Amino acid sequence: MDISTLSLVRTIDALRTLRNDWQNQGYRVALVPTMGNLHEGHFTLVKAAKALADKVIVSIFVNPLQFGQNEDFDHYPRTLEQDVRALAILGVDAVFAPEAEALYPNRVTKSDEEASTSAVVPPVKLTSILCGKKRNGHFTGVATVVTKLFNLVQPHDALFGQKDYQQVTIIKQLVEDLNLPVNIIVCATARAEDGLALSSRNQYLTQKERIIAPRLYQTLLSMKDILQENPMNIDAVTKQAKATLLASGFDSVEYIDVRHPINLSSLTSVDEAGGVILVAAVLGKTRLIDNLVVEGKRLA
């Protein structure tokens, strides 16, 4: 497809003009929010969006609010031209790629403590656990930018990957709490042939680390098998899984836990509601996350 058939939208005014035109024509609109540096996981979301809606818009924005002081905001890969060409081939109708100043006009720099910006603060019970323990403010940044995108694009559907399970849980809660008129679609985690969850950060892995990395998913599969046979064995299973990952070559395991699949509350056993195994582990300089749902055994 010729790239000229895709609208590259850089300003809020241009986005509103485009969105009003789509609304006047009665189109169903789907949004795929991204930070760019797109890979097959993103393209899976785009393909699902095209099956749902008349018009698909992909946002590309490296959101400064969701990066901590020692995280890779400045070095996060920015590949807009490459991304736009790939999305044009897939038949995406528009890409919204604003500058930070457009979304955060009162925030001068990433580290500016004086310049304030309104923020959307999700429930602490969802943001203080798992990834939130070491990424202070991360999910407030996510919630703020997603709310802005929903307000600007006004999509009927928004598509996210299951790999970011905690993030998706928070966004679902956000939509419910703020009565936002958008349907959240969660697509299965896209994986490489060896099971590694696709992520922009996989490119940071060395050749040796890339061989080790699939052990993360393999460990989750083993945990799932054990928990489906013995739902009461969460503590022992997580301890063994952590030891397995460290023995496999991971440098550290930030967390490995089994939580309620809807509200992420702690579980003592995988009951009839099931559970979700969530993990974050560091391999070399790369932090990898993954998850796997454990189906519950419904009571007769």
Instruction: Provide the domain count of the chain.
Output: 2
Strands 252-259, 275-283: parallel, antiparallel or unpaired by DSSP?
Answer: antiparallel
Q: Is the dihedral of CA 183, 188, 191, 197 positive or negative?
A: positive
DSSP for 205-221 reads S-HHHHHHTTHHHHHHH
pLDDT in tens, 27-53: 999 999 999 999 999 999 999 999 999
Domain boundary among 187, 220, 241: 187
Q: Which of 193, 194, 188, 200 is nearest to 45 (CA)?
A: 188
Q: Are residues 122 and 8 in the same domain?
A: yes
* Residues 280 and 142 placed together within one structural domain of the fold: no
Q: What DSSP letter does each residue of 41-98 carry, written as one string?
A: HHHHHHHHHHHH-SEEEEEE---GGG--TTSSTTTS---HHHHHHHHHHHT--EEE--
- Token digits for 38? 């797109």
What CATH number is attached to the domain comprising 241? 3.30.1300.10
Q: Are residues 205 and 63 both part of a single domain?
A: no
Look up the domain containing 43 and give its range: 3-187
Question: What's the average model confidence in pLDDT over 253-278?
Answer: 94
Tokens of 12: 């809020």
Residue positions annotated with a catalytic role: 42
Q: List pLDDT tens digits, range 164-217.
A: 999 999 999 999 999 999 999 999 999 999 999 999 999 999 999 999 999 999
Of 128, 162, 187, which residue is a domain's last?
187
Q: Are residues 20 and 118 in the same domain?
A: yes
150 and 25 within one domain: yes
Alpha-carbon distance of 66 to 56, in angstroms, equals 25
